[in-house]
Chain A
């Protein structure tokens, strides 16, 4: 890596210090819990889904700058999306982090691009994707109506 500033961009530090949508959601229709045993990060993602649209989304947890900022930016991006769009965003974000090129229909990641530098430090990719895997588990819970829990290990 050439410069740590590429990694810890201002937008990441801003979302770490002041995470958006950082609270439980009383009206949640589904939720999931994520855990990264490597660093002890925990995140809980709450969704209020109505007629196939994510009306509200929030998260809670304790984590590093990367995982917290990723979760915060995720909630901003996903709010108002249809379930199909949210799943497509997950695929595109996952693709950016892992470089697998599996997203069939990549979409513009906007502010989330700030996290692209994380790919240069493979051990930290799990930090950035923890909230996203938790989101996916919550979305699956909304389909199955069962409580979900994921681990990055």
Chain B
């Protein structure tokens, strides 16, 4: 701890921080632009100027940038000194010289860091009367809107896009007053993290294009804490609604998971919630829809038919549990194929029974050596890839720290680090987007990769390595490291890969390393459903209905045609004598079922998800839709109890935690629904929420009573406690004078640290110190043939729901079969030629694309696109 003096007041602060961080952590208001808690200081904008004094006798002081000043013992500054105040106001005035008169039509207006800082600095009158500099904008694709006129040259965008996220197609151009931030040529931003520019930019240069289409000011949004549903990482998000439509997704800070950032799939993949294809009414096949159909369902269930339930990895734990309660544990199946179920189960097994701990996403950055096995992390779990990029700088940064450069001094650190990369090895079936930071890469098919991994594991165990250079280098680097990290996942749909990665980690643990292992898994609640216990896979359910046709199937949030091939799905649906579907969107399954119950997505329901790390996280309903939509668990609860109103969420959770002790920690995950601050609930709406007496006045001028939320401590109105709520229940970030996302500073114990009350979420999985992993070699792959067909993953496309969002859909590429140049040459196939390959349940025809990195015995088919859905990877095939 260091003692510092700010405006002659003594404060105890942690060491190794800069003065700006210290001031903000203490809750003092100081203006800044270029500094960002995740990207540290460069001292570029000169906005955090304070007076620094030598000692208590120094009355003159000197202007210093707080962000570049070490908060050492005895440091003495003044924020309130008139000269520093004047300097900050003048500085902002010059930054504002060219700022256009745009606020009224600017999407940042009302949550603009520049607005906040301008008001905070006291600058309020434009004296400059000359002409303003203008820029021509670029079209940066479907996600981000560009308006360069508004730029104040803080350089945060390039620092994030290039330095932090490793982007290559963005930069700063021209000089002096003409400085321009954008691409060298107009075009779509390539980085998977481009959406963070929206939050990183202190003003409106980069804004959310999906929000722009249905623009709403921040103060008019009804928001709730949510969890991203687009992959298994479970990033924390804020989902916001207005007039019954979800308007945008923003980062919800969670230091243990996603920190300040989100990937573009998570940020822009929410739009399917507003789709016209949403199911909104209870429906019965060939009948008029309406709540009568639900009575018919209940009447049918009252006859106690034979039932099976199909659970879903994209439904909440509670929904899956209630389905399991309804049909009985023996009749509960997971709506995923056998291979996927096995893969996820073995991930759970490794994390639960192995001795290696899986780190949180937030911890990933701290590892110094990385080995990626078989996983295209950027496309399957993008935020892990962002963390890995930071991890690759851990060792190089040590060099800078050795030179006594402070931890926060980003500019100096980069000067020392230059292009140095930490040890980073990738063994995958094809080139991934992390190639640029890799120090060694290896491509191979499943067999090859498993063998490579086993050799690495053996090498570590023996202390010496044999085999290719890649193996030798990897073993050496892992042996030399302090904190190695093994990254793998379900991307190759191979249990062997999972176990091989676990073996490497285990051998590193045995060698005394502080090793971590991270698995990417397919879907938001894959881990949760795996933890529920021994449920059969979709194939088992199909087999059972084929044998006993007098079965009622209750299908929970599963598109059978997405999970299985067309023929199997159709015969399953025909075999069942009744099919009740609970889902949120029209898909290939919906026309085939007897009853449809519209279930809410993350926006219209409450629930709990367990991410790839085993962290249970609660998401909250954002708004009450004015149709039949309910949380799936609510429908199921009414079906179990034959009632017309579901029990509150808390009752379901306590029933679940009693029945399944593995989830018992979920009880304390978030405050109960009867939690109050004083007597008040936590409002989902800001205190400035507008239009309450008018937005529904076209329907009736008599205002309706706002809906009551019995499932959570949040209210659907603006009435309630407007202060810091418990960390799991933060619906939006705002503090007096801080309207932008930077107000997050006020919710943290210290800037960049955990939230007040601790970061939300509880880990359900901890490793077993004495455990060991059994790995008995490879299993056979279905089908015979020369080529192994593996899924290629697409950040935009491979997500079942996110791909249906218009903005994301624009980025979904054409489905192609990717093969190596050599294969193409030997088989006489040309680029874009349509070829047919057969898989165990049928065949597909797609154009061909060449890729030099793909091994000669591997074909890649994109996972989950419209014309490739239902295919079960991996399989072997031949080319004619």
Chains A and B come from one and the same complex: no
